[in-house]
Amino acid sequence: MTVNEETPFSSEEKLVQLQALLTQEDQTAVCDFFVDLPDTEIALLLESFPASDREKIWVCVPEDLKGEVLAEVGDDVRSALMSEMALSDVSELTKDLGAQDIAEILDTVHESVKEAVIDNLDDSTREQVQALHAYDDNMVGRYMDPSTVNIKQDVTLETVQRYIRIKGLLDETTQEFMVTDKDNRLVGSLGLVDLVKQNQEAEVSEFMHQSVSLLDEMNVHDAAVILRSKELRFAPVVNQEGILVGQLNIDHIMEITREDADNTLLSMSGVSDDEELFAPILSSAKSRGIWLGINLATAFLAAYVIGQFEAVLSQVVALAVLMPVVASMGGIAGSQTLTVIIRGLAMGQVGGNNRWWLFNKELWVGALNGLVWALVVGGVAQLWFDNWMMSLVITLAIVINMTVANVSGIAIPLLLRRMKIDPALSGAVILTTVTDVVGFMSFLGLATLLILT
């Protein structure tokens, strides 16, 4: 099947088709729709409907895919789908899944159901699931695939190939074999490509390479950054003793990469990273409400600053008219810098003495843009209100606010990081507070000094 822009193929078009089928209430057609769809697409579709429609879709998901689909959907959707499920259903669903998927699904169910399901698993899967659950959910160990294909270094490539065929090992995602010693300590890895490409009489040791391995308790986001910077598609995972415990695959690296980028975007806008698009009204309202409350506190701080200048405001009402322009220009300039710096921090490009270079740069960018746009604002203000003194005041205030905004845009995320706080989460609100307060204070303060009679 060849894909191009005209093929009815994109997720959105599939979604519209499924909506139409559901509206026609034709159960058979809905069920036919899922034949041949991969689990990942079914999961995305499930997430694209409000809870009320999900049940109608769920009954049509092919039985042999239900487990994988459940492992794939977000936590909220999974909880909703599983809330009514009997223990026997959960056992049935998890029967043929890998340890990773089972561990993921069991995170959502009641402790009692979880234990019962784990008891029903075969020995090796149970051990793997328990091993995964032993890690915190931001550790590499929680995301790794515990089943690896292990080989010894003193056998020939030909022997490895025969061994694989006899044992029926390898799944679609295998890219590397782990070379281990008799104590299961990692000594290197052999690429599937080399297994095929190289002289079959040679021993594994001749073509194995030292791969970058990850410690199981390492933070998985840091691990993803490292693997990405090296363009690695895979990494063995070892414990403190150097014993091989699993591998981290490209799919998970990609998933974590995308989640990290998403989370930055959501955090900066004050949305919780686990808010589902189709979450119920009350739950969305509650999760966004917290951020609104924090913002309100900072808005009142800005209002308090303005309140200190009531005298000049009551004398020159035009100040109230132009006031938001000063705050707004500072806010935009600051958030441009903030975004550039947060992205640079995420990529590991900001550190050591280049901070001072960047500081200096942002200071000048702020001052330069501040000057240019301050003159424009000053000009417009003069034409509008014909008050030379006020035009001078707003020109100065904008230069000050935009310069401070740019410097804050780099200082705030660096300080937050030193305090081990995620700059994406609180950077924006602190920055806005700074630009509002500095903006109103410089504008109304200068006005008090120069205009108030």
Query: Which residues, 242 to 301, sit near a second copy by CB under 8 A?
Result: 242, 250-251, 254, 257-258, 261-262, 264-266, 268-271, 275, 277-278, 281-282, 284-285, 288-289, 291-293, 295-296, 298-300
Distance in Å, CB of 70 to a second copy, minimum: 16
Residue 388 in contact with a second copy, rule: CB under 8 A: no
Among 365, 390, 430, 441, binds a second copy (CB under 8 A): 365
Q: CA angle, corner 167, sides to 166 and 170, nearest 5? A: 115
Residue 418 CB neighbour total at 10 angstroms: 8
Residue type, 290: I
Within 8 A by CB and 6+ apart from 176, the residues are: 189, 190, 191, 192, 211, 234, 236, 247
Q: Are 269 and 256 in contact (CB under 8 A)?
A: no
Q: What is the C-alpha to C-alpha distance for residues 213 and 227, in angstroms, rounded to an integer?
A: 10
Structure token digits, residue 134:
């032993």
Closest CB to a second copy among 113 and 333? 333
Distance in Å, CB of 16 to a second copy, minimum: 4
Distance in Å, CB of 165 to a second copy, minimum: 6
Distance in Å, CB of 426 to a second copy, minimum: 14
Q: What is the C-alpha to C-alpha distance for residues 312 and 419, in angstroms, rounded to an integer?
A: 39
Q: Are 321 and 380 in contact (CB under 8 A)?
A: no
Q: What is the C-alpha to C-alpha distance for residues 153 and 171, in angstroms, rounded to an integer?
A: 21
Q: Which residues of 330-356 are buried (b: 16+ CB within 10 A; e: fewer)?
A: bbebbbbbbbbbbebbbeeebeeeeee
Among 151, 179, 245, 313, binds a second copy (CB under 8 A): 313
Among 35, 86, 317, 419, binds a second copy (CB under 8 A): 317
Give the distance from CA 3 to its chain's centroid.
28
Among 71, 121, 323, 447, binds a second copy (CB under 8 A): 323
Residue 280 CB neighbour total at 10 angstroms: 14
Q: Tell which positions 20-79 bind a second copy, by CB under 8 A.
A: 20, 23, 38, 40-41, 44, 47-50
Q: Tell which positions 179-218 bind a second copy, by CB under 8 A.
A: 191-193, 195-200, 210, 212-215, 217-218
Q: Tell which positions 74-103 bind a second copy, by CB under 8 A.
A: none
Residue 350 in contact with a second copy, rule: CB under 8 A: yes
Q: Are 450 and 393 in contact (CB under 8 A)?
A: yes
Residue 225 in contact with a second copy, rule: CB under 8 A: yes
Residue type, 18: L
Strand partners, 185: 243
Residue 453 in contact with a second copy, rule: CB under 8 A: no
Among 178, 245, 358, 434, binds a second copy (CB under 8 A): 358
Closest CB to a second copy among 59 and 202? 202
Q: Are 249 and 98 in contact (CB under 8 A)?
A: no
Closest CB to a second copy among 102 and 224? 224
Among 59, 202, 243, 321, binds a second copy (CB under 8 A): 321
Total chain residues near a second copy (CB under 8 A)? 145
Are β-strands 150-151 and 176-180 bridged in parallel, bridged antiparallel, or unpaired? parallel
Residue 437 in contact with a second copy, rule: CB under 8 A: no
Among 111, 123, 231, 418, binds a second copy (CB under 8 A): 231
Residue 372 in contact with a second copy, rule: CB under 8 A: yes
What does the DSSP 8-state code read for residue 130? H
Distance in Å, CB of 103 to a second copy, minimum: 19
Closest CB to a second copy among 21 and 102? 21
CA distances to 11, 68, 72, 351 from 14, rounded to whole Å, are: 5, 20, 18, 45
Residue 150 in contact with a second copy, rule: CB under 8 A: no
Q: What is the C-alpha to C-alpha distance for residues 371 and 401, in angstroms, rounded to an integer?
A: 11
